[in-house]
Structure 1
Amino acid sequence: MSVVGKVTLILDAFTADDRGVGFAELQRRTGLAKATLHRLSGEMVEARLLDRVDGKFHLSGHLFALGMRASVERSLIEVATPFLEDLYERTHETVHLGRREGAEVVYVAKIGGHRQARAPSRLGGRLPLHATAIGKALLAFAPDPVRGEVLSKPLARLAPRTVTSAELLRRQLDEAAETGLAYEAEESAVGIVCVGAPVLGADDLAVAAISVAGPVTRFQPRKHGAAVRAAAAEIALTLARRSA
């Protein structure tokens, strides 16, 4: 494996929930030799790709700043934020913006107030497409090979109500493709319900998706579906104008 490959392996070993990773744990996650990891981690601290605090490693603020320079992500977040804020003011529930990477949704923005639901989503975190409304919205408007690949593989169960039947998921995706809305009913976590909609590009494929999630005890996803779909359409329209 090349040096770049090993550095990437180290960076990918961190999760959104980490509060610092010790050397032994980092070695376990990467499988790198102790001497190799010791040398590379030291060089990555010097290069400001990692921070080391109290003997534990963290992804650095400099790395975050580099990530925010990615033109696609920055433009998407800048355009979407006002519409996400409007959705939050309308619902007072947790609002997400996400992009697809492989068979997962990556959360690139999240807005929630003091009473936000304990959803499993994390800024920068990932969840399987099939287990979330935002993921289903992305998958329903993904290229056919992507959709086919997800449906052909076992669907991991995150909660008791996670959809693990390919046929049921296929029907949900067909409905989402027809209505422009996808739903989740306690599938990523017990007690959480959600509605999502795709942000479509010129080819009618999803470049991103948005969602609103809340506790099943107070949030009614279908009541807010039209607002979520309209916000996604406005984000898509604004992105199209910027790129024209």
Structure 2
Amino acid sequence: MSDIISSVARALDVLLYINGREEPVGISTISKDMGVYKSTIFRTLATLESRKFVQQDPESGKYTLGVGLFSMANKIKLYDVFKPFAKTLCEEFGEAVNVSVLDGSNSGPYKSVIVVKEEKKNSVLSVSPKIGTSMDCYCSSVGKCLLAFSNDIERDTLRQYEFVQFTPKTIQGVEALLEQMATIRRDGYALDDEEQEIGLTCVGVPILDRDGHAIAAMSISGPTQRIRSHNVETIVNRLKEVSREISALV
């Protein structure tokens, strides 16, 4: 198949090979069993290790699967936990519900990634990103919750944002963002009050682990008039209630 990228396929084959071994395995054995040059296996493992998909025992030099894969597996399980809650909220308010997680793996600024989405078939939102969509955190309610309640956010990374002004209400600059993050930590929720699009409002809350750090964030989004008619305080209280229920399960 011409669309297959050989280096990606090789990396996946190495992961599958290591997964099939009961004991840690060395480069020479992998090279021999897979019929691939040792230098190629070495580079592949180095790349996988840089992303924590494999880990090397410092004494034996042999490899096992890394924590990055276990983290991904745990998140997949978490997404299954999120789904019924998102569906319930969508049916209750008749508005779009998104659950997002923080992506800080790249060298660029922090982004939020949608992992669960529920919306009515007749939704009229002009901004309706799909699952897997990533966006800068500074202008979304879920993104700001993730920044405010994560324990390893670096100010230098926040400065990498371009702070594109989508509307006159879009937040501008790191200091303004830090000030909002402090308010969000105090109040326990965040708003995207027409910061991405005039006429669209999102209300978000963090989903916290036992240490009070965000593992995800959940939002209800809709036309500004409808969100206001629901009453923002009512939405916030319901989201917090659901967040607490999810936190008790994970």
Task: Give, in whole Å, the separation in 2 of the partners of 1:162 and 1:88.
Answer: 26
Structure 2 residue corresponding to 1:101, chosen from 103, 118, 131: 103
**Partner in structure 2 of residue 80 of structure 1:** 82
Structure 2 residue corresponding to 1:148, chosen from 131, 139, 155: 155
SS in 2 for 1:199: strand
Aligned CA distance change for structure 1 residues 84 and 71 (closer, same or farther; 3 Å): same
Contact 1:158-1:189 within 8 A present in 2 as well: no
Contact 1:154-1:164 within 8 A present in 2 as well: no
Q: Alpha-carbon deviation of 1:150?
A: 4.2
- State the aligned residue count: 178
Contact 1:201-1:207 within 8 A present in 2 as well: yes
Aligned CA distance change for structure 1 residues 162 and 3 (closer, same or farther; 3 Å): farther
- Structure 1: 5+ residue stretches without partners: 9-66, 240-244
Query: 2:218 aligned with 1:216, yes or no?
Result: no
**Partner in structure 1 of residue 38 of structure 2:** none
**1:120-166 superposed Cα distances (whole Å, 9 cap, x missing partner):** 4221101111110010110101124x252343334431511221232
Task: Give, in whole Å, the separation in 2 of the partners of 1:4 and 1:140.
Answer: 38
**1:64-95 superposed Cα distances (whole Å, 9 cap, x missing partner):** xxx9x942232111111121112112211000
Q: Alpha-carbon deviation of 1:202?
A: 2.2
**Partner in structure 2 of residue 202 of structure 1:** 210
SS in 2 for 1:238: coil
**1:39-188 pair list within 5 angstroms:** 70-102=72-104, 103-116=110-123, 117-144=125-152, 146-157=153-164, 159-160=166-167, 161-188=169-196
SS in 2 for 1:219: helix
Aligned CA distance change for structure 1 residues 170 and 107 (closer, same or farther; 3 Å): same
Task: Give, in whole Å, the separation in 1 of the partners of 2:234 and 2:10.
Answer: 46
Q: Alpha-carbon deviation of 1:98?
A: 0.7
Task: Give, in whole Å, the separation in 2 of the partners of 1:162 and 1:130.
Answer: 9
Q: Which amino acid aligns with 2:247?
A: A
Aligned CA distance change for structure 1 residues 158 and 222 (closer, same or farther; 3 Å): farther
Task: Give, in whole Å, the separation in 2 of the partners of 1:118 and 1:90.
Answer: 21
TM-score by length of 2: 0.64
Contact 1:134-1:196 within 8 A present in 2 as well: yes
Over alpha carbons, which structure has the higher Rg? 2
Percent of pairs with identical residues = 25
TM-score by length of 1: 0.66
Task: Give, in whole Å, the separation in 1 of the partners of 2:236 and 2:197.
Answer: 20
**Partner in structure 2 of residue 230 of structure 1:** 241
Over aligned residue pairs, what C-alpha RMSD do you find?
A: 2.6
Contact 1:151-1:170 within 8 A present in 2 as well: no
